[in-house]
Structure 1
């Protein structure tokens, strides 16, 4: 029988408060910078079925509630008090972990002999083995290259460490002491959660507490459906792109059909590109999971800020995954960069909801979440692996409000590392840590600007950098209703010197003392015609450094002289003829790409590719795009509009390639105009 509303409210708030205590215990006792400074970790309480019923409001991630915990629990039978399960393997955990640095612990909670739930915690480890320091490399082709894999098993057995497993872990991480210390921080925090839940059981009884774990999820599910009912019923298509997958320069397309019916939501990913030969794949294993649903998590918490956070969020969401696509990694496929394609799905959901109701969503986020890691050998010969900064882009604008600057909390609220700590702990000097001017998409409401960082290597031995997540280097963060795209990401070694060169995302690079690394993050897309932006708002942006004086004239038609708006010159500039605003502004490179590879063409190409056995698809796809855009499989830097050149000639090559390369692969099909 369901609990009365007052008792349910009291218990819900008590359990959520405990999760916050557990959360801060992990953060304050862990040793790695990923946890105690950046906050790349999470905790939760799970019910007896493995669903989240309480989640900490202070967590940097809001979307990890949509996770398959039960497969991991089921894989380790005969749990007793004092046991703790550990895993980091996406495949044997059936998607609990999504890449190997994410290490998960689950502790069963008992009242006597009766199971009453579980405590869960995860951290992003600084290093868990593999080919590169930090364990994440874009060019890995199979998961065996990515680090130590731990299937669901017991780290603690009835209160005693599994010493053989700990020995194995120590031998397979570059920072063993920090790694084990982080495990102990999670274990201590989970035990605190256990004791606090026992206090609730002692006061309210086991049956009442267990019933509350179910009732609160039912309550959340009902509230979530009411929010989804605000989206008009219908079917809405949208697609977006990764710039490339590093091992080729071919854009990787994510396609979504959003279907809404009386608060029931379907995310149909049919038509998304096949698996990559690099690590830009996600092991969802055919399930709905947080990397697929996380845009809707933010949607729910925006329109119902007080909704209790638990697995009930997702009861009315269904995902239809294309078998063999980048969201459906199987077997031994590499998955280290598993977050990149979901970021484009995130923007696809935004675009689809904008089509449904322009009042309910922002233009594209900056869409780049660059994690800058650094490895060096100190004076004592000891290897150190640390995160420098989790760089962030700006948020997209929404009707009536500018995007948030230098922060994208629609994805997560991971924290920055203070420059003083970076300089104290690493052989780096921070030369610049600021906002990136003119990076926000111009609009009546401006897209938020991204961050900017420049560091210099000052250690005697130099070091190795690895920056993952450098997306939006070609496909700009799009604007809406006349708003323009945000700026592209830039990552440069030794900017302004003779040996200046770009950084390739997700690849390690050895640098010497005196070398510099500059990162300029993209801004969010603008919303509305920038010529409609209030002149004083443009002046304020220029005074604050969000835009330059030149940008004010170029993008907004506002002339600023000696710190004031020149009204006459501004009126003249704004009166000049200009193109009618587009509903979506995608930028020159995407426009050129889609002039050749439009939606119908891409659906036909993928329809044929998916008829091939999975091992053949990538090679045939690569040969096909090389025939249409010569050299693209080896070029990740040249802008797409320059690579394509003559669109009409490229369309002729496209028809020829369809008739030759795909047909010779045994894939005849419909002609493309």
Structure 2
């Protein structure tokens, strides 16, 4: 055997062992950060991650038990290029999505990258990020949907050296302290990242000493190439074809006009997948923008990766699978926004992108993909007035229910279709904030009815214990457009936010910027449930009874949504068999072969009635043919004129069919005028 042949065999034999070791290193790095960090958002909420990147800048592994693995679809190469050659002891820091080409996704996410050397040569890079509780800007916690540009969102840190040859850049840390509301927590969390990076460096040094730098580089290539090949093999198990879906954010933060995400997903015979966002709205003058640079970015391809892991749970979590994915994201769109776009609530858009991509794959593989999850990830921030100023802390995150799938009910209170982040224990939150948690439970009747129902949302009520407090809820969505059901399954309930519920001062809220509250006020969040899968009249009556007994489904919903009549005897609640049979015989059933049918709810149906899909596609073409600085004006002007003739709360208030017909005709006339060159 030749030397080259021997090396080739040796690489293939070492790749699995090195891959497992890299994942273990990523876990150790991440636990180091978790155990040495200070803020609740990091140590309890686990909004952080750490791993090892290869020489190509893509991650080689990801922790599977700690941290936010969504953001492991990263590429550190642009950040490295921005600072030039590195030496031992250097550590690069950035939170700038534009210069880093999307490594950071919004300003509170601070990333560090460090070279790992062996015998004077770089063999890999350590990477980590943490979400700071505050990075300055207009509002406490820095993030609000109503921020108009990145200048309102806080301190921007282009790629620069945090550590220069091992010497910490103290003036930079002082700059961070002076520009943020949670100065010491931020600096402590940054130091925790450095500890994680150093833990990885020690482990990589041992790994390379064992296998050699050349062998380690070859294994890196094997891992990335193998991941792409594995992804293609899995995609080839799905029907090749083109699938299209659209979904909406409730509004753009500056008007009552929804933001459209249109996705065309093409599965090639080769197993390559193209995700095309043409037809998606232009970037908006609010904080919902994603700065992806048109790359296969975590915020636009996260759901594609989850499809791979659904098809094969052993799919490796690192950068290589993006070799099978091509993204087409028009420049200047909300999924490929240009500077100085605000991006603080980019996760709101990313969740809706995930839903839309999921809708495409649900057409390709209806028995594999679930109905829509809740579509919300809501960090709840409490800002309190203290003697020396304000302090801000994340109380917890609120999630909703997961979508039902063929053979499986959706998870209650945990929608991980987009994110696997954790909630903070209420005991920890109460110990650090002047609030009292009154209720934290599942929200009954919120999951979409189905043969396999959607998961229930959550409900959280807390009392304010100090005057001058402020509450922020980021990522509040689905007040209008419900999580959709599939194959006869029904949509989940919408989001609700209520101030002083059950009192004379009760007030129903929508999206909030900064909510000012005082001692004795209560705030209630009720998150959406997931959509249901399959006709609810086909659900096992015993399963419906179990949900009623558990307090998840009311007796009324059991009868109306599931056709299951509940009675009570000496032993408690039971199914009234004859009444149930009669109720379920009252209408035809939806069977699995109709699985491509989506149930969006009356709000989306009314919106589509006025603005059909084909109309929307033409309108987006007009907008993107116009200069970038004219698009928002054209978009706002047309919608303002059409919606003026409809109810103020349209489409939550659907109005009558005749009014919608007239509005549709008016929208068509306005669009034709624009297509002919009118402004």
TM range, normalised to the smaller chain? over 0.9
Structure 1 match to 2:4: none
Note if contact 1:427-1:462 (Cα within 8 Å) is conserved in structure 2.
Answer: no
User: Which shows bigger deviation, 613-622 or 409-418?
Assistant: 409-418
Task: Write the deviation string for residues 234-288 of structure 1: whole angstroms up to 9, x where unpaired.
Answer: 1111111111112111111100111011211000110111111111111112222
Given the alignment of the two structures, is residue 530 of structure 1 paired with residue 536 of structure 2, yes or no? Answer: yes
Task: Quote the offset at 1:336 in angstroms.
Answer: 1.0
Measured after TM superposition, the shift of residue 664 of structure 1 is 8.8
5+ long unaligned stretches in structure 1: 668-673
Corresponding residue for 1:508?
Answer: 514
Residue equivalent to 1:568:
578
Give distance in 1, aligned partners of 2:172 and 2:649.
41
Listed one character per residue, the Cα deviations across residues 332-368 of structure 1 (whole Å, up to 9, x for unaligned) are 1111111122212211111111212212211111111
SS at structure 1 position matched to 2:28: helix
> CA–CA distance in 2 between the matches of 1:648 and 1:156?
63
After TM superposition, list the pairs within 5 Å mapping 1:466-477 onto structure 2: 466-477=472-483
Question: What is the alpha-carbon distance in structure 2 between the residues aligned to residue 113 and residue 193 of structure 1?
Answer: 18
SS in 1 for 2:349: helix
State the SS of the aligned residue for 2:247: strand
Q: Which range moved further: 503-512 or 127-136?
A: 503-512
1:102 has 2:109 as partner = yes
Which stretch of structure 1 is more off in the superposition, 502-511 or 297-306? 502-511
Q: Are the structure 2 counterparts of residues 145 and 235 from structure 1 closer, same or farther at C-alpha, using a change threshold of 3 Å? A: same
Aligned residue number for residue 577 of structure 1: 587
Counterpart of 2:60 in 1: which secondary structure?
A: strand
Q: Distance in 1 between matches of 2:187 and 2:353?
A: 35
Instruction: Name the counterpart of 2:209.
Output: 202
Q: Judge conservation of contact 2:11–2:218 (CA < 8 Å) in 1.
A: no
* Conservation of the 8 A alpha-carbon contact between 1:593 and 1:640: no
Whole-angstrom CA distance in 2 between matches of 1:580 and 1:80: 64
- 1:496 Cα shift? 2.3
SS in 1 for 2:279: coil
* Residue 349 of structure 2 is aligned to residue 337 of structure 1: no
**Cα deviations across residues 415-451 of structure 1 (Å, max 9, x unaligned)?**
1211222222111110100001111110011111111
CA contact (8 A) 2:11 2:219 kept: no
CA contact (8 A) 2:645 2:659 kept: no
The structural deviation recorded for 1:653 is: 2.1
- State which drifts further: 213-222 or 555-564: 213-222
Match of 1:252 in 2: 259
Counterpart residue number, 1:623: 637
Shift of 1:17: 0.7
Q: Is the 8 A contact 1:627 1:657 kept in 2?
A: no
Residue 503 of structure 1 deviates from its aligned partner by 3.4
For the 8 Å contact 2:449–2:491, the answer to whether it is kept is yes
Which deviates the most, 527-536 or 306-315? 306-315
Rate the CA distance shift 1:190–1:12 in 2: closer, same or farther, 3 A.
Answer: same
Contact 2:150 2:341 in 1 (8 A): yes
2:496 is matched with 490
Q: Which of residues 364, 377, 381 in structure 2 aligns to 1:369?
A: 377
Residues 1:169 and 1:547: Cα distance change in structure 2 (over 3 Å): same
Aligned residues: 663
Match of 2:3 in 1: none
Query: Which residue of the partner structure matches residue 421 of structure 1?
Result: 428
- Residue 402 of structure 1 and its aligned partner are, at CA, apart by 0.8
1:451-466 map, 5 Å:
451-459=458-466, 461-466=467-472
Aligned 1:510-659 pairs, distance under 5 A: 510-562=516-568, 563-577=573-587, 583-630=597-644, 639-642=652-655, 646-659=659-672
- Relative to structure 1, the CA distance from residue 52 to residue 16 in structure 2 (aligned partners, 3 Å threshold; closer, same or farther) is same
- The DSSP-based 3-state class of the residue aligned with 1:527 is coil
1:291 aligns with 2:299: yes
Q: Distance in 1 between matches of 2:625 and 2:36?
A: 52
1:220–1:308: 8 Å Cα contact kept in structure 2? yes
Measured against aligned partners, the alpha-carbon deviations of 1:515-551 in whole angstroms (never above 9, x if no partner) come to 1110111111101100111100000011112211111
Aligned counterpart in structure 2 of residue 265 of structure 1, from 273, 280, 300: 273
C-alpha deviations, 1:161-211, integer Å up to 9, x for none? 112211211110001111000000000110011011111122222222222
In structure 2, C-alpha distance between the alignment counterparts of 1:271 and 1:391, rounded to whole Å: 31
Which residue in the other structure is 2:334 paired with? 326
Deviates more, 1:600-609 or 1:502-511: 502-511
Cα distance in 2 between the residues matched to 1:25 and 1:631: 58
The DSSP-based 3-state class of the residue aligned with 1:414 is: coil
Residue 217 in 1 paired to residue 240 in 2? Answer: no
Q: Report whether the alignment pairs 1:310 with 2:322.
A: no
Q: CA deviation at 1:505?
A: 2.7
Out of 477, 480, 485, which is 1:479 matched to?
485
Question: In the aligned structure 2, how far is the partner of 1:94 from the partner of 1:329?
Answer: 11
Q: CA deviation at 1:112?
A: 2.6
Tell me the CA shift for residue 644 of structure 1: 8.4
Q: Aligned to 1:75, what secondary structure does the other structure show? A: helix
TM-score (norm 1): 0.95
Counterparts of 1:453 and 1:645, CA distance in 2: 40
Give how far 1:635 is off.
Answer: 6.0
Give 1:498 deviation, angstroms: 2.8
Shift of residue 66 of structure 1? 2.2
- Following superposition, the deviation at residue 383 of structure 1 comes to 2.5
Contact 2:487 2:590 in 1 (8 A): no
- Alignment deviations for residues 71-126 of structure 1 (CA, whole Å, 9 cap, x no partner): 00111112111110000011111111111000000011101311011000001100
**How far apart, in 1, do the equivalents of 2:648 and 2:273 lie?**
39
Give SS of 2:607's match: helix
Instruction: After TM superposition, give the deviation of residue 504 of structure 1 in Å.
Output: 3.6
Quote the Cα distance in structure 2 between the aligned partners of 1:495 and 1:631.
33
Whether the aligned pair in 2 keeps the contact of 1:301 and 1:307 (CA below 8 Å) is: yes
Q: Are the aligned partners of 1:590 and 1:640 in contact in 2 as well (CA < 8 Å)?
A: no
| C-alpha separation in 2, matches of 1:631 and 1:644 | 13
- Work out which of the residue numbers 440, 445, 456 in structure 1 matches 2:452: 445
Is 1:6 the equivalent of 2:13? yes
Q: Larger deviation: 380-389 or 596-605?
A: 380-389
**How do 1:36-435 and structure 2 match up within 5 A?**
36-261=43-268, 262-378=270-386, 380-435=387-442
Distance 1:175 1:573 in 2: 58
CA distance in 2, matches of 1:271, 1:13: 41
Deviation of the 1:482 alpha carbon: 0.4
* Aligned 8 A contact 1:63 1:297 in 2: no
**3-state DSSP class of the match of 1:610?**
helix
CA RMSD of aligned residues (A): 1.9
Q: Distance in 1 between matches of 2:614 and 2:476?
A: 29
